[in-house]
Chains A and B, each alone.
Chain A
Amino acid sequence: MAVAALRRLALRGPVPVHAAIGTDALAAVDDLSLDPRISVQQSPRHAAILLVAGPLRDEDRSDLCRLHDQLPHPRATVFWRTDPAIQIADPPVVSVEDDAAATIASVYRSLIEEGRPSEPDLQPDTPPNPWRGKGDHGQGGEGMMGGTPYGRPMAMTGDDLRDGLQLDPYTAEFGPFLPVFPPGLKLRITLQGDVIQFAKVLRPPLPQEEQSGPSAALRRIARQLRLLGLTGQAARALRLASVGDGKAAGVRRLRRLVKWSGSGQAIPPGLGRVGGADVRDRLAAWWEVASGETAEARAPDRTLVDLLPGLEWSEAMLVLNSFDIATLTGMCPIEKREDKAHSEEEKDAPEPHDHDGHQDQMRGAA
Protein backbone atom coordinates (compact mmCIF):
# COMPACT_ATOMS: atom_id res chain seq x y z
CA MET A 1 0.00 0.00 0.00
CA ALA A 2 2.57 2.48 1.13
CA VAL A 3 5.00 1.03 -1.35
CA ALA A 4 2.58 1.69 -4.19
CA ALA A 5 2.06 5.26 -3.01
CA LEU A 6 5.81 5.70 -2.77
CA ARG A 7 6.23 4.44 -6.29
CA ARG A 8 3.60 6.75 -7.66
CA LEU A 9 5.28 9.66 -5.94
CA ALA A 10 8.65 8.58 -7.31
CA LEU A 11 7.24 8.55 -10.82
CA ARG A 12 6.24 12.20 -10.61
CA GLY A 13 9.86 13.27 -10.30
CA PRO A 14 12.51 13.26 -13.03
CA VAL A 15 14.11 10.00 -14.06
CA PRO A 16 17.57 9.58 -12.55
CA VAL A 17 19.89 8.56 -15.36
CA HIS A 18 23.58 7.75 -15.45
CA ALA A 19 25.11 8.36 -18.85
CA ALA A 20 27.88 6.24 -20.33
CA ILE A 21 28.97 8.47 -23.17
CA GLY A 22 30.59 7.19 -26.34
CA THR A 23 31.72 8.73 -29.59
CA ASP A 24 30.02 11.93 -30.75
CA ALA A 25 27.40 11.83 -28.03
CA LEU A 26 28.61 14.30 -25.42
CA ALA A 27 26.70 17.27 -26.81
CA ALA A 28 23.55 15.19 -27.18
CA VAL A 29 23.70 14.00 -23.59
CA ASP A 30 24.30 17.57 -22.42
CA ASP A 31 21.16 18.66 -24.23
CA LEU A 32 19.27 15.71 -22.79
CA SER A 33 20.24 16.76 -19.27
CA LEU A 34 18.29 19.97 -19.79
CA ASP A 35 15.06 18.05 -20.28
CA PRO A 36 12.90 18.43 -17.15
CA ARG A 37 11.92 14.76 -17.30
CA ILE A 38 15.54 13.63 -16.92
CA SER A 39 18.05 14.18 -14.16
CA VAL A 40 21.56 13.09 -15.08
CA GLN A 41 23.37 11.75 -12.04
CA GLN A 42 27.11 11.72 -11.54
CA SER A 43 27.30 8.47 -9.67
CA PRO A 44 25.81 5.24 -11.03
CA ARG A 45 24.53 4.44 -7.56
CA HIS A 46 22.16 7.40 -7.68
CA ALA A 47 20.56 6.39 -10.97
CA ALA A 48 17.89 3.96 -12.09
CA ILE A 49 18.53 3.99 -15.84
CA LEU A 50 21.86 3.48 -17.54
CA LEU A 51 21.93 5.44 -20.76
CA VAL A 52 24.53 4.21 -23.22
CA ALA A 53 24.88 7.01 -25.73
CA GLY A 54 27.03 6.70 -28.79
CA PRO A 55 29.17 3.81 -30.02
CA LEU A 56 31.79 2.49 -27.63
CA ARG A 57 35.08 0.79 -28.25
CA ASP A 58 35.34 -2.97 -27.89
CA GLU A 59 37.67 -2.65 -24.95
CA ASP A 60 35.15 -0.48 -23.10
CA ARG A 61 32.59 -3.24 -23.00
CA SER A 62 33.77 -4.94 -19.83
CA ASP A 63 33.87 -1.56 -18.10
CA LEU A 64 30.30 -0.98 -19.21
CA CYS A 65 29.26 -4.29 -17.68
CA ARG A 66 30.89 -3.33 -14.42
CA LEU A 67 29.21 0.06 -14.51
CA HIS A 68 25.84 -1.53 -15.18
CA ASP A 69 26.08 -3.77 -12.14
CA GLN A 70 26.52 -0.81 -9.84
CA LEU A 71 23.14 0.70 -10.45
CA PRO A 72 20.77 -0.15 -7.62
CA HIS A 73 17.73 -2.26 -8.36
CA PRO A 74 15.29 -1.59 -10.03
CA ARG A 75 17.34 -0.69 -13.07
CA ALA A 76 17.20 -0.73 -16.84
CA THR A 77 19.48 0.15 -19.72
CA VAL A 78 18.65 2.31 -22.72
CA PHE A 79 20.86 2.41 -25.77
CA TRP A 80 20.86 5.60 -27.79
CA ARG A 81 22.57 6.30 -31.07
CA THR A 82 24.28 2.94 -30.92
CA ASP A 83 23.64 -0.75 -31.23
CA PRO A 84 23.27 -2.68 -28.02
CA ALA A 85 26.85 -3.23 -26.96
CA ILE A 86 26.27 -5.66 -24.12
CA GLN A 87 23.93 -8.59 -23.83
CA ILE A 88 21.05 -7.97 -21.50
CA ALA A 89 18.44 -10.65 -21.07
CA ASP A 90 15.44 -8.63 -22.20
CA PRO A 91 15.15 -7.32 -25.74
CA PRO A 92 17.31 -4.27 -25.14
CA VAL A 93 15.69 -0.88 -25.28
CA VAL A 94 17.06 1.12 -28.15
CA SER A 95 15.91 4.67 -28.56
CA VAL A 96 15.34 5.20 -32.23
CA GLU A 97 14.13 8.75 -32.27
CA ASP A 98 16.54 11.53 -31.55
CA ASP A 99 14.80 12.49 -28.35
CA ALA A 100 15.67 9.77 -25.90
CA ALA A 101 13.81 11.41 -23.04
CA ALA A 102 10.47 9.90 -23.99
CA THR A 103 11.95 6.40 -24.28
CA ILE A 104 13.73 6.77 -20.96
CA ALA A 105 10.60 8.03 -19.25
CA SER A 106 8.51 5.16 -20.54
CA VAL A 107 11.12 2.57 -19.54
CA TYR A 108 11.24 4.10 -16.06
CA ARG A 109 7.49 3.98 -15.77
CA SER A 110 7.37 0.36 -16.79
CA LEU A 111 10.17 -0.38 -14.33
CA ILE A 112 8.48 1.28 -11.39
CA GLU A 113 4.83 0.60 -12.04
CA GLU A 114 4.17 -2.02 -14.63
CA GLY A 115 6.42 -4.68 -13.26
CA ARG A 116 9.21 -4.70 -15.81
CA PRO A 117 11.83 -6.88 -14.17
CA SER A 118 15.00 -5.19 -13.04
CA GLU A 119 18.02 -6.21 -15.09
CA PRO A 120 20.16 -8.88 -13.44
CA ASP A 121 23.89 -8.57 -12.90
CA LEU A 122 26.02 -9.01 -15.98
CA GLN A 123 29.08 -10.16 -14.10
CA PRO A 124 29.29 -12.88 -11.43
CA ASP A 125 29.02 -11.61 -7.89
CA THR A 126 32.47 -12.79 -6.88
CA PRO A 127 35.45 -10.71 -5.82
CA PRO A 128 37.91 -10.02 -8.64
CA ASN A 129 40.97 -10.93 -6.60
CA PRO A 130 40.63 -14.43 -5.13
CA TRP A 131 41.48 -14.24 -1.47
CA ARG A 132 39.62 -16.94 0.36
CA GLY A 133 41.79 -19.33 2.24
CA LYS A 134 45.03 -17.57 1.41
CA GLY A 135 47.37 -15.96 3.86
CA ASP A 136 47.92 -16.42 7.56
CA HIS A 137 44.27 -16.23 8.60
CA GLY A 138 42.54 -17.10 5.38
CA GLN A 139 41.71 -13.51 4.58
CA GLY A 140 44.35 -13.13 1.91
CA GLY A 141 46.72 -10.98 3.94
CA GLU A 142 50.15 -11.75 5.30
CA GLY A 143 51.01 -10.84 8.85
CA MET A 144 50.17 -7.26 9.65
CA MET A 145 50.93 -5.87 6.24
CA GLY A 146 51.07 -7.12 2.72
CA GLY A 147 48.99 -9.49 0.64
CA THR A 148 45.51 -8.78 -0.64
CA PRO A 149 43.23 -9.05 2.38
CA TYR A 150 39.61 -9.41 1.34
CA GLY A 151 40.73 -8.88 -2.22
CA ARG A 152 42.22 -5.48 -1.65
CA PRO A 153 45.90 -5.05 -2.42
CA MET A 154 47.40 -3.68 0.76
CA ALA A 155 48.99 -0.27 0.35
CA MET A 156 52.70 -0.24 0.96
CA THR A 157 54.63 2.91 1.66
CA GLY A 158 56.16 5.06 -0.99
CA ASP A 159 57.88 8.41 -1.07
CA ASP A 160 55.66 11.38 -1.49
CA LEU A 161 56.52 13.79 -4.30
CA ARG A 162 56.25 16.90 -2.24
CA ASP A 163 58.47 16.25 0.74
CA GLY A 164 59.76 12.71 0.66
CA LEU A 165 57.60 11.51 3.54
CA GLN A 166 56.78 7.83 3.38
CA LEU A 167 53.04 7.73 2.91
CA ASP A 168 50.66 5.11 1.53
CA PRO A 169 50.10 5.55 -2.20
CA TYR A 170 46.98 4.21 -3.85
CA THR A 171 46.89 3.11 -7.46
CA ALA A 172 43.71 2.65 -9.37
CA GLU A 173 42.40 2.90 -12.88
CA PHE A 174 39.96 5.73 -13.39
CA GLY A 175 37.92 4.76 -16.12
CA PRO A 176 36.29 5.39 -19.39
CA PHE A 177 32.93 6.51 -18.04
CA LEU A 178 33.97 8.77 -15.21
CA PRO A 179 31.73 11.86 -15.49
CA VAL A 180 34.51 14.32 -14.66
CA PHE A 181 36.77 12.89 -17.36
CA PRO A 182 36.26 13.50 -21.07
CA PRO A 183 34.31 10.46 -22.27
CA GLY A 184 36.47 7.45 -23.04
CA LEU A 185 39.60 8.57 -21.20
CA LYS A 186 41.06 5.90 -18.96
CA LEU A 187 43.97 6.71 -16.70
CA ARG A 188 45.93 4.71 -14.19
CA ILE A 189 46.65 7.14 -11.39
CA THR A 190 48.73 6.71 -8.25
CA LEU A 191 47.41 8.97 -5.56
CA GLN A 192 49.04 9.99 -2.32
CA GLY A 193 46.04 11.26 -0.43
CA ASP A 194 44.43 13.39 -3.09
CA VAL A 195 47.68 14.42 -4.80
CA ILE A 196 48.52 12.64 -8.03
CA GLN A 197 51.96 11.03 -7.98
CA PHE A 198 51.94 9.27 -11.33
CA ALA A 199 49.48 9.09 -14.14
CA LYS A 200 49.45 6.83 -17.16
CA VAL A 201 47.09 7.00 -20.09
CA LEU A 202 45.50 3.63 -20.84
CA ARG A 203 42.89 4.75 -23.37
CA PRO A 204 42.56 8.14 -25.04
CA PRO A 205 39.33 10.12 -25.00
CA LEU A 206 36.75 9.29 -27.65
CA PRO A 207 36.36 11.83 -30.47
CA GLN A 208 33.37 14.13 -30.12
CA GLU A 209 31.66 16.19 -32.79
CA GLU A 210 31.69 19.95 -33.22
CA GLN A 211 34.59 21.27 -31.28
CA SER A 212 34.67 24.84 -32.53
CA GLY A 213 32.20 27.65 -32.29
CA PRO A 214 30.33 29.35 -29.47
CA SER A 215 28.16 26.35 -28.57
CA ALA A 216 31.13 24.06 -28.08
CA ALA A 217 32.89 26.72 -26.01
CA LEU A 218 29.81 27.09 -23.82
CA ARG A 219 29.66 23.34 -23.25
CA ARG A 220 33.28 23.29 -22.15
CA ILE A 221 32.65 26.26 -19.88
CA ALA A 222 29.72 24.36 -18.40
CA ARG A 223 32.00 21.44 -17.50
CA GLN A 224 34.40 23.79 -15.74
CA LEU A 225 31.58 25.54 -13.90
CA ARG A 226 30.33 22.21 -12.69
CA LEU A 227 33.77 21.40 -11.27
CA LEU A 228 33.72 24.72 -9.43
CA GLY A 229 30.46 23.81 -7.76
CA LEU A 230 28.30 26.15 -9.84
CA THR A 231 25.77 23.61 -11.11
CA GLY A 232 23.05 26.15 -11.76
CA GLN A 233 25.30 28.32 -13.89
CA ALA A 234 26.52 25.21 -15.71
CA ALA A 235 22.94 24.31 -16.61
CA ARG A 236 22.39 27.83 -17.82
CA ALA A 237 25.46 27.60 -20.01
CA LEU A 238 24.26 24.31 -21.48
CA ARG A 239 20.88 25.82 -22.21
CA LEU A 240 22.55 28.69 -24.05
CA ALA A 241 24.68 26.21 -25.97
CA SER A 242 21.65 24.25 -27.13
CA VAL A 243 19.97 27.39 -28.46
CA GLY A 244 20.98 28.09 -32.03
CA ASP A 245 21.42 31.84 -32.33
CA GLY A 246 20.72 35.07 -30.56
CA LYS A 247 22.42 34.20 -27.34
CA ALA A 248 24.84 37.07 -27.02
CA ALA A 249 22.78 38.76 -24.34
CA GLY A 250 22.39 35.50 -22.46
CA VAL A 251 26.11 34.86 -22.63
CA ARG A 252 26.83 38.34 -21.29
CA ARG A 253 24.48 37.80 -18.36
CA LEU A 254 25.98 34.42 -17.61
CA ARG A 255 29.47 35.83 -17.77
CA ARG A 256 28.53 38.50 -15.24
CA LEU A 257 26.96 35.91 -12.95
CA VAL A 258 30.07 33.74 -13.13
CA LYS A 259 32.34 36.72 -12.53
CA TRP A 260 30.44 37.59 -9.35
CA SER A 261 30.78 34.03 -8.14
CA GLY A 262 34.50 34.53 -7.75
CA SER A 263 35.39 31.68 -10.09
CA GLY A 264 38.18 33.77 -11.57
CA GLN A 265 39.85 33.89 -8.20
CA ALA A 266 38.93 30.33 -7.31
CA ILE A 267 41.14 28.82 -10.01
CA PRO A 268 44.76 29.13 -8.90
CA PRO A 269 47.01 31.15 -11.21
CA GLY A 270 49.65 29.28 -13.18
CA LEU A 271 47.76 25.99 -13.02
CA GLY A 272 48.38 23.58 -15.85
CA ARG A 273 50.59 25.87 -17.90
CA VAL A 274 50.85 24.52 -21.44
CA GLY A 275 52.12 26.56 -24.36
CA GLY A 276 52.25 29.67 -22.24
CA ALA A 277 48.58 29.55 -21.19
CA ASP A 278 47.25 28.33 -17.86
CA VAL A 279 43.74 27.20 -16.98
CA ARG A 280 42.57 30.78 -16.41
CA ASP A 281 43.79 31.86 -19.84
CA ARG A 282 42.13 28.95 -21.58
CA LEU A 283 38.86 29.63 -19.79
CA ALA A 284 39.06 33.29 -20.77
CA ALA A 285 39.67 32.25 -24.37
CA TRP A 286 36.54 30.09 -24.28
CA TRP A 287 34.51 33.00 -22.99
CA GLU A 288 35.78 35.03 -25.92
CA VAL A 289 34.70 32.32 -28.34
CA ALA A 290 31.33 32.04 -26.63
CA SER A 291 30.81 35.78 -27.06
CA GLY A 292 31.45 35.42 -30.75
CA GLU A 293 35.11 36.23 -31.21
CA THR A 294 37.66 33.75 -32.43
CA ALA A 295 40.63 32.50 -30.55
CA GLU A 296 43.77 31.08 -32.04
CA ALA A 297 44.66 27.49 -31.29
CA ARG A 298 47.87 26.80 -29.44
CA ALA A 299 49.77 23.61 -29.94
CA PRO A 300 50.36 21.88 -26.65
CA ASP A 301 53.99 21.31 -25.74
CA ARG A 302 53.52 18.88 -22.86
CA THR A 303 51.73 15.61 -22.44
CA LEU A 304 49.01 15.00 -19.92
CA VAL A 305 51.09 12.60 -17.84
CA ASP A 306 53.71 15.33 -17.43
CA LEU A 307 51.10 17.83 -16.37
CA LEU A 308 49.26 15.87 -13.73
CA PRO A 309 51.83 14.75 -11.11
CA GLY A 310 51.91 17.02 -8.08
CA LEU A 311 48.41 18.33 -8.72
CA GLU A 312 45.73 17.76 -6.18
CA TRP A 313 42.60 15.99 -7.45
CA SER A 314 40.31 18.98 -7.99
CA GLU A 315 43.11 20.97 -9.60
CA ALA A 316 43.84 17.98 -11.83
CA MET A 317 40.19 17.83 -12.87
CA LEU A 318 40.24 21.53 -13.69
CA VAL A 319 43.35 21.04 -15.82
CA LEU A 320 41.97 17.96 -17.54
CA ASN A 321 38.77 19.73 -18.48
CA SER A 322 40.50 22.90 -19.63
CA PHE A 323 41.41 21.40 -22.99
CA ASP A 324 39.06 20.60 -25.81
CA ILE A 325 38.87 16.94 -26.73
CA ALA A 326 41.01 17.16 -29.85
CA THR A 327 43.87 18.87 -28.03
CA LEU A 328 43.59 16.48 -25.14
CA THR A 329 43.74 13.47 -27.44
CA GLY A 330 46.93 14.91 -28.85
CA MET A 331 48.31 15.18 -25.35
CA CYS A 332 47.52 11.56 -24.53
CA PRO A 333 49.84 9.37 -26.54
CA ILE A 334 49.57 5.75 -25.49
CA GLU A 335 52.83 4.05 -24.66
CA LYS A 336 52.78 0.91 -26.74
CA ARG A 337 53.71 -1.72 -24.22
CA GLU A 338 54.08 -1.74 -20.46
CA ASP A 339 57.83 -1.38 -20.73
CA LYS A 340 60.05 -2.16 -17.77
CA ALA A 341 61.63 1.31 -17.76
CA HIS A 342 58.34 2.89 -16.81
CA SER A 343 57.32 0.20 -14.40
CA GLU A 344 60.39 1.08 -12.36
CA GLU A 345 58.64 4.23 -11.20
CA GLU A 346 55.66 2.22 -10.18
CA LYS A 347 57.52 -0.57 -8.47
CA ASP A 348 55.97 0.18 -5.15
CA ALA A 349 52.54 0.73 -6.61
CA PRO A 350 50.46 -2.34 -5.83
CA GLU A 351 48.44 -4.19 -8.39
CA PRO A 352 45.68 -1.82 -9.38
CA HIS A 353 42.02 -2.50 -9.27
CA ASP A 354 39.63 -0.89 -11.65
CA HIS A 355 37.45 2.08 -11.14
CA ASP A 356 34.85 4.34 -12.40
CA GLY A 357 33.04 2.61 -11.23
CA HIS A 358 35.13 0.56 -9.42
CA GLN A 359 35.70 -3.09 -9.03
CA ASP A 360 32.94 -5.58 -8.43
CA GLN A 361 30.99 -4.74 -5.38
CA MET A 362 29.01 -7.20 -3.41
CA ARG A 363 25.44 -6.96 -4.43
CA GLY A 364 22.85 -7.27 -1.80
CA ALA A 365 20.39 -5.19 0.11
CA ALA A 366 21.71 -3.92 3.38
Chain B
Amino acid sequence: MGLIDDAAFLLLSTVAILSGWRVFATDSMVRASFLLMMSFIAVGLIMLLLAAPYIGLATVFMMAVEMMVMALFMVMFMMNPAGLNPMMMVHQHQLAIGAGVFAFVGLTAAVLFTDLPDDRVDPGAPVVHDLGVELLGNSMLIFETAGVTLLATMVGAVVLSSRSGRFGAADEGSRPPGLEVGGEPAGRQPVQGGGGHHHHH
Protein backbone atom coordinates (compact mmCIF):
# COMPACT_ATOMS: atom_id res chain seq x y z
CA MET B 1 0.00 0.00 0.00
CA GLY B 2 2.81 2.37 0.86
CA LEU B 3 4.44 1.82 -2.52
CA ILE B 4 1.27 2.67 -4.40
CA ASP B 5 0.76 5.76 -2.28
CA ASP B 6 4.32 6.92 -2.92
CA ALA B 7 4.08 6.26 -6.63
CA ALA B 8 0.77 8.10 -6.83
CA PHE B 9 2.21 11.01 -4.89
CA LEU B 10 5.22 11.25 -7.17
CA LEU B 11 3.10 11.07 -10.31
CA LEU B 12 0.61 13.66 -9.10
CA SER B 13 3.29 16.07 -7.93
CA THR B 14 5.08 15.76 -11.25
CA VAL B 15 1.84 16.52 -13.07
CA ALA B 16 1.18 19.48 -10.77
CA ILE B 17 4.63 20.98 -11.24
CA LEU B 18 4.85 20.37 -14.97
CA SER B 19 1.43 21.75 -15.74
CA GLY B 20 2.11 24.69 -13.45
CA TRP B 21 5.24 25.43 -15.44
CA ARG B 22 3.40 25.08 -18.74
CA VAL B 23 0.87 27.69 -17.63
CA PHE B 24 3.55 30.30 -18.13
CA ALA B 25 5.27 28.70 -21.04
CA THR B 26 2.25 28.31 -23.28
CA ASP B 27 1.01 31.02 -25.61
CA SER B 28 -2.62 30.04 -25.54
CA MET B 29 -4.53 31.69 -22.73
CA VAL B 30 -7.29 29.12 -22.78
CA ARG B 31 -4.78 26.34 -22.51
CA ALA B 32 -3.11 28.23 -19.68
CA SER B 33 -6.37 28.30 -17.73
CA PHE B 34 -6.92 24.61 -18.17
CA LEU B 35 -3.32 23.71 -17.42
CA LEU B 36 -3.72 25.60 -14.16
CA MET B 37 -6.85 23.59 -13.55
CA MET B 38 -4.94 20.40 -14.17
CA SER B 39 -2.32 21.48 -11.66
CA PHE B 40 -4.99 22.12 -9.07
CA ILE B 41 -6.65 18.81 -9.83
CA ALA B 42 -3.37 17.03 -9.22
CA VAL B 43 -3.04 18.78 -5.86
CA GLY B 44 -6.63 17.90 -5.01
CA LEU B 45 -5.92 14.27 -5.76
CA ILE B 46 -2.86 14.43 -3.52
CA MET B 47 -5.18 15.50 -0.76
CA LEU B 48 -7.11 12.30 -1.34
CA LEU B 49 -3.90 10.50 -0.46
CA LEU B 50 -3.74 12.53 2.73
CA ALA B 51 -7.08 11.09 3.85
CA ALA B 52 -8.96 14.33 3.19
CA PRO B 53 -11.41 13.16 0.52
CA TYR B 54 -13.92 15.96 0.87
CA ILE B 55 -11.32 18.71 0.68
CA GLY B 56 -9.57 17.08 -2.24
CA LEU B 57 -12.69 16.54 -4.32
CA ALA B 58 -14.09 19.94 -3.40
CA THR B 59 -10.83 21.48 -4.63
CA VAL B 60 -11.22 19.68 -7.95
CA PHE B 61 -14.85 20.75 -8.20
CA MET B 62 -14.23 24.38 -7.42
CA MET B 63 -11.14 24.70 -9.54
CA ALA B 64 -12.90 23.24 -12.55
CA VAL B 65 -15.64 25.86 -12.27
CA GLU B 66 -13.25 28.71 -11.60
CA MET B 67 -10.88 27.89 -14.42
CA MET B 68 -13.83 27.46 -16.75
CA VAL B 69 -14.98 30.99 -15.96
CA MET B 70 -11.43 32.25 -16.36
CA ALA B 71 -11.11 30.61 -19.75
CA LEU B 72 -14.39 32.18 -20.79
CA PHE B 73 -13.11 35.58 -19.76
CA MET B 74 -9.98 34.91 -21.78
CA VAL B 75 -12.08 34.41 -24.87
CA MET B 76 -14.20 37.46 -24.08
CA PHE B 77 -11.54 40.01 -23.26
CA MET B 78 -8.15 38.85 -24.37
CA MET B 79 -7.27 39.50 -27.92
CA ASN B 80 -5.15 36.42 -28.27
CA PRO B 81 -6.83 33.58 -26.43
CA ALA B 82 -5.61 30.82 -28.69
CA GLY B 83 -2.02 31.87 -28.61
CA LEU B 84 -1.72 32.26 -32.35
CA ASN B 85 0.46 35.25 -31.54
CA PRO B 86 3.25 34.53 -29.09
CA MET B 87 2.51 35.83 -25.60
CA MET B 88 4.77 37.24 -22.97
CA MET B 89 2.90 36.83 -19.75
CA VAL B 90 5.37 37.76 -17.08
CA HIS B 91 6.11 41.28 -15.99
CA GLN B 92 9.32 42.29 -14.25
CA HIS B 93 11.00 39.16 -15.46
CA GLN B 94 14.13 39.26 -13.29
CA LEU B 95 12.30 40.12 -10.10
CA ALA B 96 9.82 37.31 -10.75
CA ILE B 97 12.55 34.73 -11.28
CA GLY B 98 14.38 35.89 -8.18
CA ALA B 99 11.29 35.81 -6.02
CA GLY B 100 10.36 32.39 -7.35
CA VAL B 101 13.75 30.86 -6.66
CA PHE B 102 13.84 32.39 -3.20
CA ALA B 103 10.39 31.09 -2.36
CA PHE B 104 11.22 27.64 -3.69
CA VAL B 105 14.43 27.39 -1.69
CA GLY B 106 12.74 28.69 1.44
CA LEU B 107 9.80 26.33 1.22
CA THR B 108 11.98 23.34 0.41
CA ALA B 109 14.15 24.09 3.41
CA ALA B 110 11.08 24.46 5.59
CA VAL B 111 9.67 21.14 4.37
CA LEU B 112 12.92 19.21 4.65
CA PHE B 113 13.92 20.46 8.05
CA THR B 114 10.55 20.26 9.78
CA ASP B 115 9.39 17.30 11.75
CA LEU B 116 6.23 16.40 9.84
CA PRO B 117 3.87 13.83 11.38
CA ASP B 118 3.85 10.42 9.76
CA ASP B 119 1.24 8.48 11.69
CA ARG B 120 -1.34 6.90 9.45
CA VAL B 121 -4.96 7.90 9.60
CA ASP B 122 -7.11 4.99 10.70
CA PRO B 123 -8.98 3.88 7.53
CA GLY B 124 -12.15 3.56 9.52
CA ALA B 125 -11.96 7.09 10.88
CA PRO B 126 -14.98 9.16 9.84
CA VAL B 127 -12.92 11.98 8.32
CA VAL B 128 -15.83 13.60 6.47
CA HIS B 129 -17.92 13.53 9.62
CA ASP B 130 -15.11 15.06 11.67
CA LEU B 131 -14.61 17.73 9.03
CA GLY B 132 -18.29 18.56 9.18
CA VAL B 133 -18.25 18.80 12.93
CA GLU B 134 -15.24 21.13 12.77
CA LEU B 135 -16.75 23.32 10.04
CA LEU B 136 -20.05 23.71 11.77
CA GLY B 137 -18.62 23.84 15.24
CA ASN B 138 -15.45 25.66 16.10
CA SER B 139 -14.83 27.11 12.66
CA MET B 140 -18.39 28.13 11.92
CA LEU B 141 -17.83 31.81 12.69
CA ILE B 142 -14.89 32.03 10.28
CA PHE B 143 -16.64 30.29 7.43
CA GLU B 144 -19.91 32.08 7.75
CA THR B 145 -18.37 35.53 8.01
CA ALA B 146 -16.00 34.78 5.15
CA GLY B 147 -18.87 33.55 3.03
CA VAL B 148 -21.08 36.53 3.66
CA THR B 149 -18.16 38.92 3.15
CA LEU B 150 -17.36 37.34 -0.20
CA LEU B 151 -20.96 37.59 -1.27
CA ALA B 152 -21.15 41.24 -0.26
CA THR B 153 -17.92 41.93 -2.16
CA MET B 154 -19.24 40.27 -5.29
CA VAL B 155 -22.52 42.13 -5.14
CA GLY B 156 -20.67 45.38 -4.51
CA ALA B 157 -18.28 44.83 -7.40
CA VAL B 158 -21.14 44.16 -9.79
CA VAL B 159 -23.03 47.22 -8.60
CA LEU B 160 -19.96 49.42 -8.94
CA SER B 161 -19.12 48.20 -12.43
CA SER B 162 -22.65 48.02 -13.75
CA ARG B 163 -23.56 50.51 -16.40
CA SER B 164 -26.91 51.49 -14.98
CA GLY B 165 -25.95 54.02 -12.37
CA ARG B 166 -28.21 55.54 -9.79
CA PHE B 167 -29.14 58.54 -11.90
CA GLY B 168 -28.54 57.29 -15.41
CA ALA B 169 -25.99 55.35 -17.44
CA ALA B 170 -22.65 55.31 -15.68
CA ASP B 171 -20.53 56.02 -18.74
CA GLU B 172 -22.49 59.18 -19.46
CA GLY B 173 -21.56 60.62 -16.10
CA SER B 174 -24.70 59.91 -14.14
CA ARG B 175 -25.50 62.94 -12.09
CA PRO B 176 -28.09 63.40 -9.38
CA PRO B 177 -31.08 65.71 -9.94
CA GLY B 178 -30.85 69.32 -8.80
CA LEU B 179 -31.94 70.61 -5.44
CA GLU B 180 -34.60 72.69 -7.18
CA VAL B 181 -36.65 71.37 -10.03
CA GLY B 182 -34.73 72.01 -13.23
CA GLY B 183 -31.71 73.39 -11.38
CA GLU B 184 -28.05 72.50 -11.56
CA PRO B 185 -27.24 68.88 -10.74
CA ALA B 186 -26.35 68.54 -7.11
CA GLY B 187 -23.28 66.81 -5.85
CA ARG B 188 -19.81 66.38 -7.22
CA GLN B 189 -19.27 67.10 -10.89
CA PRO B 190 -17.84 64.08 -12.79
CA VAL B 191 -14.36 64.46 -14.23
CA GLN B 192 -14.52 64.99 -18.00
CA GLY B 193 -12.63 62.75 -20.40
CA GLY B 194 -12.39 59.88 -17.99
CA GLY B 195 -11.63 56.26 -18.51
CA GLY B 196 -8.78 55.63 -20.92
CA HIS B 197 -8.89 52.09 -22.21
CA HIS B 198 -5.78 50.35 -21.12
CA HIS B 199 -4.93 47.36 -23.23
CA HIS B 200 -3.19 44.57 -21.47
CA HIS B 201 -0.04 43.72 -23.34
Contacts and interface: CB of A to CB of B under 8 A. Distances in A.
Q: So, do A and B actually touch in the complex, CB under 8 Å?
A: yes
Interface of A: 136-137, 139, 141-147, 149-150, 152, 154-157, 162-164, 166-168, 193
Nearest to A137: B86
A157 B197 contact: yes
B87 A168 contact: no
Contacts of B163: 162-164
Contacts of B75: 168
B85 interface: yes
20 contacts: A137-B86, A139-B85, A141-B85, A144-B79, A144-B86, A144-B87, A144-B88, A145-B80, A145-B201, A146-B85, A149-B84, A149-B85, A150-B84, A154-B79, A154-B80, A163-B162, A166-B197, A168-B75, A168-B77, A193-B76
Given A163-B163, A193-B76, A139 B171 contact: no
Contacts of B76: 167-168, 193
Contact of B79 (A137, A155, A163): A155
Interface string B171-201: 1000000000000000000000000010101
A146 B78 CA distance: 12
Main secondary structure of the interface of B (DSSP, over half): loop
Contacts of A147: 85
B197 A144 contact: no
Interface residues of B, number: 17
A104 to B, nearest CB: 38
Nearest to A162: B163
A150 B85 CA distance: 9
A152 B85 CA distance: 10
Residue with the highest number of chain A CB atoms closer than 10 Å, among B77, B78, B84: B84
Interface in B69-113: 75-80, 84-88
A145 B77 contact: no
Contacts of A136: 86
A139 B78 CA distance: 19
B80 A144 contact: yes
In the A-B complex, the 9 residue pairs with the closest CB atoms = A149-B84, A141-B85, A163-B163, A145-B79, A164-B171, A149-B85, A150-B84, A167-B76, A144-B85
Interface string B110-141: 00000000000000000000000000000000
A117 B78 CA distance: 45
Contact of A157 (B85, B86, B87, B199): B199
Contacts of A146: 85
Given A144-B201, A149-B84, A164-B163, 15 more contacts: A137-B86, A139-B86, A143-B85, A143-B201, A144-B88, A145-B79, A145-B80, A152-B84, A157-B79, A157-B197, A157-B199, A163-B162, A164-B171, A168-B77, A168-B79
Nearest to A131: B84
Contacts of B201: 143-145
Nearest to B73: A167
Given A144-B201, A163-B163, A164-B163, A154 B77 contact: no
Given A156-B79, A163-B162, A142 B199 contact: no
A142 B79 contact: no
Nearest to B172: A164
A144 B78 CA distance: 10
A143 B201 CA distance: 9
Nearest to A163: B163
Contacts of A166: 77, 197
B162 to A, nearest CB: 7
